[in-house]
Amino acid sequence: MTAIPVLLYHGVSDSPDAWAVTWSRLREHADVVLASGRTPVTVAEVSRRLAAGEAVDGLVAVSFDDGEAAQLPAAEELAAKGIPASVYVTVGYLGTSGYLDDAGLQDLAAVPGIEVGSHSVRHVHLDVLGRADLQMQLRASRAALEDRIGREVRGLAYPHGAHDRRVVDATAEAGYSSAAAVRNALSHDAEHPLSVSRLTITMGTPLPVVEAFVRGEGRRGETRQRLRTRGFRVYRKVRHRLAG
């Protein structure tokens, strides 16, 4: 299988934040990507090639989840180096403290090479939702983003990475052609275009680990979910129903 490293970031901050990376660390990672000889693309392009059965050799992708305000200057820095990025925005977070507002979202969409995608409305586990709420999370978030940036949104990142076959089918029905999971594994040429594996990068991820990821070293994402993953999904569904 051909490995595709798809890096997943959240915050970018020089303040203590376990989920973030510092600005200097992000720049180091950008240098690693550029030195790798791989071609940086968006997650949408990875999905497009997977769907078309085209070659994915030598690709690398960078993505951000949630739509934090710092992701705008981060995307601008990456674009200036020739690295496109996919930024998945939680619509319900727009305009709240620490997150993009409408003007920031529009500026983000104007950055060359940037893909703006949906991260749902409320950042909930989609696989525990009933059909109506699931469709709302998928369709309303996409429509809200399209209204704000004035262009089509076809990419989604599943909040918490939570999805199953029902969610994948609903994602396709809602008009998405690309979707990102998590799995903390390398994507590869046998993956579904609506279930692209990503590697979470945080403050605690050592630089040699990122370098190994970009070289394509590590576990590949499963095309069939592990028993532990299925068991945890059942647990979350039961808990969700009991909570009403």
Distance CA 24, CA 116 (A): 24
pLDDT in tens, 58-114: 999 999 999 999 999 999 999 999 999 999 999 999 999 999 999 999 999 999 999
Distance CA 119, CA 99 (A): 13
**Spans of all domains in the chain:** 3-242
- Calculate mean pLDDT across residues 31-48: 98
Distance CA 183, CA 106 (A): 30
pLDDT in tens, 125-153: 999 999 999 999 999 999 999 999 999 99
Please provide the CATH number assigned to the domain covering 3-242. 3.20.20.370
Which pLDDT value is given to residue 222? 83
- pTM as predicted: 0.92
**Chain-wide mean pLDDT for the chain?**
93
Q: Which residue has the tokens 């109506």?
A: 132
Instruction: Record the tokens describing residue 200, joined without a space.
Output: 């979470």
At residue 159, does pLDDT exceed 90? yes
- Calculate mean pLDDT across residues 197-202: 98
**63 touches 87 (CB < 8 A):** yes
Give the confidence band of 243 by pLDDT, cuts at 50, 70, 90.
Answer: low
